[in-house]
Amino acid sequence: MRELILAAALHLSREPGKRASAHANARPPRIPEIDICNKSPRTIENLGVRGFNDNHPSIRELDDDRGKSRLRATKSGAFENLAEKGRELEVRSGDRTPRKEDIHFDNDLRRRDDRGQTYASRMLENRGNSRETSGMSRNGNGNCDVETEEHVPILRPDEKLLKRLDTLADHFQSKYNMEPSFFVRVPGRVNLIGEHIDYCGYAVFPMAIEQDILVAVALSKGNDVRLTNVDSKYKDFQCDMKNVSACISDTGDGPDWYKYFLCGVKGVLEVIPEESAPGGILAAVWGNIPPNSGLSSSSALVSSAVLLTVHASQHKLSKHKLATISSRAEGYIGTQGGGMDQAIAFLGKAGSAMLIEFNPLCGTGVTLPKTAVFVIAHSQACHNKASTTDYNLRVAECRLAAQIIAKKRKKPWERVQRLINVQESLGLSVDEMVSVVTTELHEEPYTLSEISKNLDTTNEKLKEISLLRSFSDSQTFKLKQRALHVYNEAARVVEFRRTSEENGMMEEEKLRQLGKLMSDSHTSLRKLYECSHPSVDDLVDKATACGALGARLTGAGWGGCIVAIITKDKVSQFVDALKKELARCGIKDGFKLEDLVFPTEPNQGAAIYTI
């Protein structure tokens, strides 16, 4: 007995707002998967879409005890009017368009089939029986059904990821009494160099990592966003889709986990047509990125919500557009980020780090030296950048520094937002800007009144223009130090890329130079930007003593992780030595030694997984 399974995930070939008739004479794009979820039988009858046939690349074959070939939409309650009954739609194969008389329903949907197969096992068998497709490179987390450079790929998970998806699907069904219709994965990231300069307009050098946020998703017939987390310390949450904005408002010491998710939903609802917005979303979240570690767990959660909401809304947006929406959406939580975390989440590639540039957003893959390995280590000091003013103060200080320099160099300062703006207006290099900063800004902290006087404006107008509304009149600002870090760090990013791609340099010398750039970066972050932490500084020293060629904090700082560079032949020895040092000093509650130090390599960016 054979059965054909049709994955219930939709990717339209058009951007929202574009007419479907555009380029009518052009060759139609390949539509790999057909969405029949939340469609009435009459709607399906009138779809007239291609793909309901045995040759469709997304169809899988399995044995069936009734001896009939069928197409199955693998989403419980695929139609809104059947959702409560937990039944599964089936359509006989062989016809281009399903007929009403071909529609059947199964009432005996079970978590495990007659052979006792789990959800993930069925997925693996489906993948094995499918038509051959091009495989992803290492760390790709699956084989590709649909992947272009422009859009987030639709993948079939590999064996390693299947185990996690099975656990997540179990949790999803235990909460919602139905199976998810698709999954999204968004990775964390480690920034190798270029800290605190993305919001100043300068290029950064991150790579996506293996640790990620996974979300299982289904649409509901209601209007609620319902969230659950595999980790029981994160409580379930539910709110009406219309109240998403109100639920984001923070009244506690720090944002609750679900608010990051809601930020992503809100970001999408603001850019897609209202009529295409999903009625309700059921989501189960599972992440293994250490929170408050500097590895972008919060941005990954926001970005995953953006991706799943767009997918559920039957739109197909470019990676660049998704990254832009995600960056803007995270601002709803109260942080003024620059877009690096979201960009690498969507643009990341297995096997290469990325040079991320802004305005316009652009990601360029950079192959790292073959003998280099980057190791992440956690300081056991946590910091939530959205729960304090530290992060936003640095953003404001950089803006104020740019505005004062522009004013002193007789440029219109009111429109200056970032340090790169004043550099471009002056037509100087970053090295020359270091000299400008030294000349135009003084060492002592500036008061708000002094800055207003320099700019010939009032305190109130300055607060409105320069992101200062959350700061008191007594706040002081270290403008020279922050600007010096930014311009020097921007130069280090350029040098890091040049060294990585240098063909005429011996590997040993190349790694030595990369290590020095990383160590210089940390010194600048500690002394000029003042965003390090004693535990982070101590860990950097320990890493160097254990053999690292260079090490620096990664992420926003004030705690979290460091990243160290080591030669491949010494990585095991280095990891063991650093773990011994951490064990000797004591492991804090809530941490496990085996999770505190681990090597990493460039990983695949965001992906959608079908079932």
Other CB atoms closer than 10 Å to residue 241's CB: what's the count? 18
Strand partners of residue 62? 3
- Containing 161, the helix (H) or strand (E) segment is helix 159-176
d(CA 86, CA 77): 5
Q: Read off the pLDDT of residues 425-466 as tens digits, 9 standing for 90 and up.
A: 999 999 999 999 999 999 999 999 999 999 999 998 898 888
Could you tell me the pLDDT band of residue 253, with boundaries at 50, 70 and 90? Answer: low
pLDDT above 90 covers a percentage of the chain that reads 62
Q: What is the total residue count of the chain?
A: 611
For residue 315, which of 278, 367, 266 has the smallest C-alpha distance? 278
User: How many Å from the N-terminal Cα to the C-terminal Cα in the chain?
Assistant: 21
For the CA atoms of the chain, what is the radius of gyration? 26
DSSP state at residue 387: S
CATH topology of domain 389-501: de novo design (two linked rop proteins) (1.20.1440)
d(CA 611, CA 321): 25
Q: Read off the pLDDT of residues 101-135 as tens digits, 9 standing for 90 and up.
A: 332 323 322 233 433 444 444 444 444 433 333 33
Strand partners of residue 394? none
User: For the sheet containing 142-146, what is the strand order?
Assistant: 142-146, 154-157, 607-610, 182-193, 205-220, 280-287, 224-229, 237-240
Yes or no: say if 422 and 405 are a contact pair by the CB < 8 Å rule. Answer: yes
Look at residue 598 and tell me whether its pLDDT is greater than 90. yes
Quick one: tokens of 3?
């059965």
Model pTM?
0.75
Q: Crossing angle for the helix pair 119-129 and 159-176, nearest 10 degrees? A: 140
Half-sphere exposure of 52 (CA within 13 A, CB side): 23
Other CB atoms closer than 10 Å to residue 543's CB: what's the count? 27
- Containing 526, the helix (H) or strand (E) segment is helix 507-527
Yes or no: say if 217 and 312 are a contact pair by the CB < 8 Å rule. Answer: yes
Yes or no: say if 50 and 31 are a contact pair by the CB < 8 Å rule. Answer: yes
Q: Per the residue annotation, which of 145, 341, 456, 541 is the catalytic one?
A: 341
Domain ranges across the chain:
154-188+209-346, 389-501
Q: Read off the pLDDT of residues 20-43 as tens digits, 9 standing for 90 and up.
A: 333 333 333 333 333 434 433 333
Domain pair 154-188+209-346 / 389-501, same fold = no
Other CB atoms closer than 10 Å to residue 262's CB: what's the count? 27
Q: Is 224 a catalytic residue?
A: no
CATH topology of domain 154-188+209-346: Ribosomal Protein S5; domain 2 (3.30.230)
φ, ψ of residue 432 in degrees (nearest 5): -70, -30
- Containing 128, the helix (H) or strand (E) segment is helix 119-129
Q: Read off the pLDDT of residues 511-551 as tens digits, 9 standing for 90 and up.
A: 999 999 999 999 999 999 999 999 999 999 999 999 999 99
